Amino acid sequence: MLCEIKNALTFDLEEYFQVSNFQNKIRFEDWDGFESRLAIGLDKILDILEKNKVKATFFVLGWVAERQKNLVKKIDDLGHEIANHGYSHQLIYNQTPDEFRQDLRKSKTILEDIIQKPIFGYRAPSFSITPKSIWAIDILIEEGFKYDSSIFPIYHDKGGIPNVNRFLYKIERNGKEIQLRESLDLIFLLLEAVIYGFFLTGL
């Protein structure tokens, strides 16, 4: 089912050492040993958004939120939407459905505790909801999510479903529905390149 078209500006809030392309070099267990540089880029982005009176959605990694509650609170206080980017940034098709559900719940709980509001949106690490992990959509519906932004409508090295509908649409399961907002975030990629000094790496 097609929905009305809207423009949306979104960001994934995660550290430079958490991107998927570093997964073979930097273990999850070692993340705490790295310096956080998140606030440097985030403050610049928030300033630009404020100056231009633009509101955005921030898909926040639960691991980050757990350690930097102030950043999440700041984004929320400025009127932007906080959404879920999972907890541990594991690719969806590398998890079992139960592992995915636990990761999803963990980050949702952390985020909702910080902002004291329900979280409705989700984006998978590296757009890793693909034909082999499409079962994740059913879990998102079961867990109360209202929209998903995890499917890259072109080929991507770690995700993507080419030829999928590029406009907003809804699917329904057992009387519950979810809106699929596919992502083609070239602006985000460019911002990431400026802030972190790399290009098209992990997402």
Under the rule (CB under 5 A), what is the footprint of Zn ion? Answer: 12, 14, 125
Instruction: Map residue 22 onto helix, strand or coil.
Output: helix
Closest distance to Zn ion from the beta carbon of 161 (Å) = 18
Complex with Zn ion: residue 84 or 137, whichever CB lies closer: 84
Q: Alpha helices of 57-123 — where are they, by DSSP H?
A: 62-67, 69-77, 97-115
CA torsion through residues 125, 163, 185, 52, sign: negative
Nearest residue to 53 (alpha-carbon basis) of 114, 1, 88, 9:
9
CB of 203 to Zn ion, least distance (A): 5
Nearer to Zn ion, 154 or 171 (CB): 154
Task: Give, for 40, the enclosing helix (H) or strand (E).
Answer: helix 38-51
| Minimum CB–partner distance for residue 202 and Zn ion (Å) | 7
Query: Is residue 11 within 8 Å of residue 188, measured between CB atoms?
Result: yes
Closer to Zn ion by CB, 127 or 147: give it. Answer: 127
* Nearest-approach distance from CB 2 to Zn ion, in angstroms: 28
Q: Phi-psi region for residue 143, left (φ > 0), alpha (ψ -120 to 50) or beta?
A: alpha
Q: How far is the CB of 125 from Zn ion (least distance, A)?
A: 5
| Of residues 60 and 141, the one with the C-beta less far from Zn ion | 60
Tell which residue, 163, 177, 185, 187, has the closest CA to residue 3: 177
Nearer to Zn ion, 3 or 8 (CB): 8
